[in-house]
């Protein structure tokens, strides 16, 4: 009689791999983990929070659309954060189109920051041209500044 009570007691029943309820629970758990991973990959939350903290104008949907255009959001947002912190005016779309043209947005922003520190005027378009020409924008800014400071002989 005690043996029959043990079989009916749900606390002592064990779930095996062949139990349909166990398999359904395992599949549900795997589905939730997969959806969470896809959500975090598609919506780069850490990057969005970093942009919000530094008051860089980048929305969560902007990051999603970058992924859809096959542009790594970090390659655009990190230089944009640097530009915002340095007070250099450049837009996300300008950096994104430069990246899609085969350029390096980090190089462009670094050159613009260097020009800003040297009190030189370097428009975004010119910095992008220098980068796409294969030149180091920072070195080119410094070279041009040296040449403008030295008297012509």
Q: What is the pLDDT of residue 149?
A: 66
pLDDT tens digits for 59-76? 989 998 998 999 999 999
Return the pLDDT at 6. Answer: 46
Q: Return the structure tokens found at 69.
A: 């255009």
Residue 110 neighbours by CB under 8 Å, 6+ apart: 79, 82, 137, 138
Closest C-alpha among 1, 37, 92, 132 to residue 111: 132
Give the pLDDT of residue 33. Answer: 94
Write down the pLDDT at residue 13.
53
Please indicate whether residue 44 or residue 102 has the higher confidence score (pLDDT). Answer: 102
Whole-structure pTM over 0.85, yes or no? no
Predicted confidence at residue 150, as pLDDT, reads 65
Q: What is the mean pLDDT of residues 77-102?
A: 96
């Amino acid at each position: 009689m005690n043996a029959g009570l043990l079989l009916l007691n749900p606390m002592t029943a064990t779930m095996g791999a062949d139990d349909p309820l166990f398999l359904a629970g395992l599949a549900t758990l795997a589905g939730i983990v997969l959806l969470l991973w896809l959500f975090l990959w598609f919506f780069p939350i850490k990057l969005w929070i970093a942009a919000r903290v530094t008051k860089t104008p980048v929305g969560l949907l902007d990051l999603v659309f970058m992924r859809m255009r096959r542009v790594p959001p970090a390659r655009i947002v990190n230089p944009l954060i640097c530009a915002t912190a340095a007070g250099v005016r450049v837009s996300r779309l300008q950096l994104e189109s430069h990246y899609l043209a085969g350029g390096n947005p980090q190089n462009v922003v670094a050159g613009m920051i260097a020009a800003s520190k040297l009190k030189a005027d370097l428009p975004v378009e010119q910095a992008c041209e220098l980068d796409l020409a294969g030149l180091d924008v920072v070195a080119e800014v410094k070279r041009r500044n040296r040449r403008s400071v030295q008297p012509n002989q």
